[in-house]
Amino acid sequence: MRAVLLAALLALVLVPRARAAWLGRLDPRQLLGSWYILAVASGEKDFVVDKATKNIEGVTLTFTPQNTLKMLSSRNRLERCHLHAVELMKQNSRWVFGNPSLGVLEYRVLATNFRDYAIVLTQLELQDEAFSTVELYSRMELASQEAMGLFTKWSKGLGFSSQQRATLQKDLTCARKVFQFSGFWYIVAIASDTQGLLPARDKRKLGASLVKVHKMGQLRVVLVFNWSQGCKAHSLILRKDRKRAVFRNTLKGVAGFHVLISDYKDSVVYLRLGRAGQATKTLLLLSESSGRACGAESGGRAGIVPDTQTSGHTMGTHPSVQGASLWGLVVCRWPPSRCVLAQGLGRCSGLVLFS
């Protein structure tokens, strides 16, 4: 396996200067967030035997306050999905990290389009076995032809045989264990029963939310968007209820923060602000994309259905909306049968879509 490591190093040395300069523009912050691992080339001794059973894996990258790169990954090991966290220190380049004490000699970006894919080389030394891997990171569940072509080119160029390469099985169960709900979200719509909460039409702008695990059983939540009084930011530590999947901080006036539904791309949050018995009720539609939303209301009952032709959402009088007996918000993923109705909100003052 030492030969594979040597080949990798030689290949990097021989990278054309133009490509090296191009990669030199990469800011590590462009790598942050959640990625699917769709293809792998590995020199690990058991990889050839196990590759047929490996499903798509996941990785989430964040920076710590100490400016180290924290990598939380969900990996297929011995027919089980394992969560693993490691912190990597910056090396002699802005886009090279490592932690030799943990067996990660080098973590390096070989190629990326700075948007939706990256080819990553990792050199490892674990339990006296030295090997390297090349992985295809993708923001989407399917890789583009450009990304797959670059993965094949790099893995072949670094000496990996066809038996040492694999496109992972299209099962996202393991990958999504690492994603959960943490990360950055756009606030693209809001519904509330509170009069005066919503901004005027000419002041409706996209909001933002940042959700991070603070410690076991606690979330750090930052919400930024235009209220009727203007743009405001709120940062809170919320604690999980012992029996229910609800987070709250009653001392700060948050009676409930409840994720009703999430497919890790779009999420609906039920937010209750105020004291018990007097809490206001608000629904937030969060999306990883800032795609423009558009539409209209129907008798106070609003339906949101992803438009298969655009990156935004289309509002309309969906049959599930017309049949709703209570005021509320119907959120659907295509096909229409996959719907969740958030009932019991009372008479909403309106659903606002931000542009």
Please state the length of the chain: 355
- Give pLDDT, residue 10: 52
- Give pLDDT, residue 178: 74
Q: Please give the CATH superfamily to which domain 180-353 belongs.
A: Calycin beta-barrel core domain (2.40.128.20)
Is residue 318 scored above 50 in pLDDT?
no
- Give pLDDT, residue 283: 84
The correct answer on CATH 3.20.20.150 for the domain covering 2-178 is: no
45-69 in b/e burial notation, b at 16+ Cβ within 10 A?
Answer: eebeeebeebbbbbbbbbeeeeebb
- Give pLDDT, residue 37: 96
Q: Which residues belong to CATH 2.40.128.20 in the chain?
A: 2-178, 180-353
- Give pLDDT, residue 127: 80
pLDDT band at 325 (very low <50, low <70, confident <90, very high): very low
- Give pLDDT, residue 185: 83
- Give pLDDT, residue 281: 84
Is residue 17 scored above 60 in pLDDT?
no
- Give pLDDT, residue 156: 92
Note if the pTM is more than 0.85. no
pLDDT, average across residues 38-53? 90
Give the DSSP per-residue string, 135-154: EEEESSSS--HHHHHHHHHH
Host H or E run for residue 322:
helix 319-322
pLDDT, average across residues 268-293? 75
pLDDT, average across residues 280-294? 68
In three-state secondary structure terms, 156 is helix
pLDDT band at 103 (very low <50, low <70, confident <90, very high): very high
Cα 255 to the chain's mean position, in Å? 26
pLDDT band at 196 (very low <50, low <70, confident <90, very high): low
Mean pLDDT of the chain: 72
Is residue 311 scored above 50 in pLDDT?
no
pLDDT, average across residues 265-280? 78
- Give pLDDT, residue 224: 83
Most confident of 17-21, 129-133, 310-314: 129-133
pLDDT band at 299 (very low <50, low <70, confident <90, very high): very low
In three-state secondary structure terms, 163 is helix
Q: How many CB atoms lie within 10 A of CB 246?
A: 16
pLDDT, average across residues 22-51? 83
3 phi/psi in degrees, rounded to 5: -65, -35
The residue type of 222 is V
136-164 pLDDT, tens per residue? Answer: 999 888 899 999 999 999 999 999 999 99
168-184 pLDDT, tens per residue? Answer: 998 888 887 777 667 78
In angstroms, the CA 231 to CA 221 distance is: 17
In angstroms, the CA 146 to CA 204 distance is: 38
Is residue 234 scored above 50 in pLDDT?
yes
* Spatial CA neighbour of 122 closest among 108, 101, 103: 108
- Give pLDDT, residue 146: 94
pLDDT band at 335 (very low <50, low <70, confident <90, very high): very low
